Amino acid sequence: MINQRCVKSCQILKSKKPCGTIIARTLKRSCEMKNPFLYGKFLTSNSFCNRQKELQDIRRSIENRTNLFIYGERRLGKTSLVKIALSQLAQADYVSCYVDLWPTEDEFTFSLAVARAITLAWSPTPEKVLSAAAEFFGKFAPHMSLDEAGRPVLSFGVSRDSVTTPDLDDVLSVPVKIATKTKKQVVVVFDEFQQILEYPDDKVERAMRSHIQSHQEISYIFLGSRKHLVQKMLLEKSRPLYRSGKNLYLGTIPAAEWLPFIRKRFVASNLSIEDEQISLICAWTDGHPFYTQYLCHELWELARETQTPITEATMVQALETVLQNESYAYAALWESLAQNQRRILIGLAKEPPGVKPYSAAFLRKYDLSTPSSVDRAIDALLARDIIDRDNGTFIISDRFFKLWIGRLQL
């Protein structure tokens, strides 16, 4: 939708003088431009800042049929990155399957999620979805319907009380059957795979270990966003998936890589931004892709609306807009925290990176009684994904929540 202020400006210019028509057209094109900074959705390769090395690592892992574990904080773009890699595969040579484990809670829901994802990946047309489901998962009583857009919606009639329930080994063996049948390489992606730690037992984890080790013709990619849980699964010798593949840690993006990315998108919109201003954005967001794109999105909207050079006041206004957008959720979260949890967050928000929350100085400064009380508070914050471990210390996962806490203290 064209901004009404822009439309009015165009009309005024056209009424003034002939050359105003040219200016008005330029202004109107600027107003009609789509915001080039995207966040909160799956991104295309053009929307990514760099990540070329990581994308190459993913492609090479697929080509070499190795197991790859990709992990990092939430909202870093792991899923989008892998989906871009999958989209670049030749359909004549590959079959790719994406399984979201986030909604699963046990072996039963895991099996159904995998069965549904494999069926939809293998079936080239909606007409063949049901036949494919019947071929590989006939015991699950599959049936299909279409949504409003005409896309197939696959369901299974099997329930926990059914006489025949999904067999885990049968489900996990289907990728090999597809590879044999099609003579293609199969790629299976398990997103939010740390969710299996929430299951009542480790049966799924042990079964996955057994299958992925023996499936030489399959490429498995595991994505995890709760870093401390993923590291527990991969680095503890007692865990079934210990050292069962290559690890790829996805971190934040350095400011040096954000500079050309952000500058190019402002310039393409006939807007200017200084390198120092981009550096300030990265300082506020720690170079985290989601928060950097979010803040740039708001800044671009402000700059386009005013059609004036970006100033310090514009930067602050953009940040205030973001914090105001999130203030209700942040206030509700803050109210739900215990006193010691709040004190730890205040310390993490105010102190420089690398601060040690268990140190005597930190305990004394933020009125924390004992290391054991800190330990309990940190465990609770980790469980709720409010903080994450980072090189021997902790960080507040939501960069804007960190800034909001800082403003709260002021």
pLDDT one-digit tens code per residue, 156-168: 988 887 766 678 9
- Mean pLDDT across the chain, nearest whole number? 88
Q: How is 205-218 classified by DSSP, letter by letter?
A: HHHHHHHHHH-TTE
Looking at per-residue confidence, does 145 or 364 come out higher?
Answer: 364
Q: Which residue has the tokens 């680095």?
A: 235
Q: What is the pLDDT of residue 45?
A: 77
Task: Find, among 381, 277, 260, the residue nearest to 319 by Cα.
Answer: 277
DSSP code for 33: P
Asked if residue 259 and residue 246 are part of one domain, the reply reads: no
Q: What is the pLDDT of residue 227?
A: 77
CB 378 within 8 A of CB 354: no
Q: For the stretch 166-196, what's the b/e string if a residue is b when 16 or more beta carbons lie within 10 angstroms of its beta carbon?
A: bebeebbebbbebbeeeebbbbbbbbbbbbb
Q: What is the pLDDT of residue 105?
A: 95
* Strand stretches in 55-179, DSSP E: 68-72, 94-100, 142-146, 152-156
Decide which of 297, 325, 353 is a domain's last residue: 325
Is residue 330 situated within a structural domain? no
Report the distance separating Cα 166 and Cα 112, nearest Å: 7
Percentage, residues of the chain above pLDDT 70: 91
Asked if residue 204 and residue 74 are part of one domain, the reply reads: yes
Asked if residue 163 and residue 100 are part of one domain, the reply reads: yes
* Residue 400, pLDDT above cutoff 70: yes
Confidence band, pLDDT 50/70/90 cuts, at residue 13: very low
Six token digits for residue 8: 């009015």
Task: Count CB-CB contacts under 10 A for residue 45.
Answer: 14
Six token digits for residue 63: 């080509």
Judged by average pLDDT, the poorest of 56-60, 117-121, 237-241, 374-378 is: 237-241
Looking at per-residue confidence, does 330 or 164 come out higher?
Answer: 330
User: Per the structure, how many domains does the chain have?
Assistant: 4
Report the distance separating Cα 319 and Cα 296, nearest Å: 9
Choose the most confident range, by mean pLDDT, from 8-17, 143-152, 303-312. Answer: 303-312
Q: What is the pLDDT of residue 129?
A: 85
Asked if residue 194 and residue 61 are part of one domain, the reply reads: yes
Is residue 40 situated within a structural domain? no
* Residue 10, pLDDT above cutoff 70: no
Six token digits for residue 148: 């409003």
For residues 17-44, average pLDDT: 66
Q: Which residue has the tokens 């998936």?
A: 241
Asked if residue 218 and residue 132 are part of one domain, the reply reads: yes
Is residue 43 situated within a structural domain? no
Confidence band, pLDDT 50/70/90 cuts, at residue 21: low
Confidence band, pLDDT 50/70/90 cuts, at residue 20: low
Asked if residue 243 and residue 270 are part of one domain, the reply reads: no
pLDDT tens per residue across span 176-223: 999 999 999 999 999 999 999 899 999 999 999 999 888 988 999 999
Q: What is the pLDDT of residue 157?
A: 86
Q: What is the CATH number of the domain that holds 133?
A: 3.40.50.300
Strands 152-156, 142-146: pairing is: antiparallel
Is residue 44 situated within a structural domain? no
Q: What is the pLDDT of residue 163?
A: 63
Q: What is the CATH number of the domain that holds 321?
A: 1.10.8
3-state secondary structure of 314: helix
Strands 185-191, 152-156: pairing is: unpaired
* Residue 238, pLDDT above cutoff 60: yes
CA 322 vs CA 309, 310, 328: distances in Å: 20, 17, 12
Q: What is the pLDDT of residue 31?
A: 55
Report the distance separating Cα 38 and Cα 56, nearest Å: 23
* Residue 101, pLDDT above cutoff 60: yes
Domain span at residue 192 reads 51-250
Q: Enumerate long-range contacts of 110-115, CB under 8 Å, 24 or more apart.
A: 110/168, 110/196, 110/199, 110/204, 111/166, 111/167, 111/168, 111/171, 112/140, 112/156, 112/158, 112/166, 114/171, 114/172, 115/140, 115/156, 115/166, 115/171, 115/174
Decide which of 325, 346, 371 is a domain's last residue: 325
Q: What is the pLDDT of residue 56?
A: 94
Confidence band, pLDDT 50/70/90 cuts, at residue 239: confident
Q: What is the pLDDT of residue 5?
A: 45
* Residue 47, pLDDT above cutoff 70: yes
pLDDT tens per residue across span 313-329: 999 999 999 999 999 99
Asked if residue 238 and residue 128 are part of one domain, the reply reads: yes
Q: What is the CATH number of the domain that holds 397?
A: 1.10.10.10
pTM: 0.85
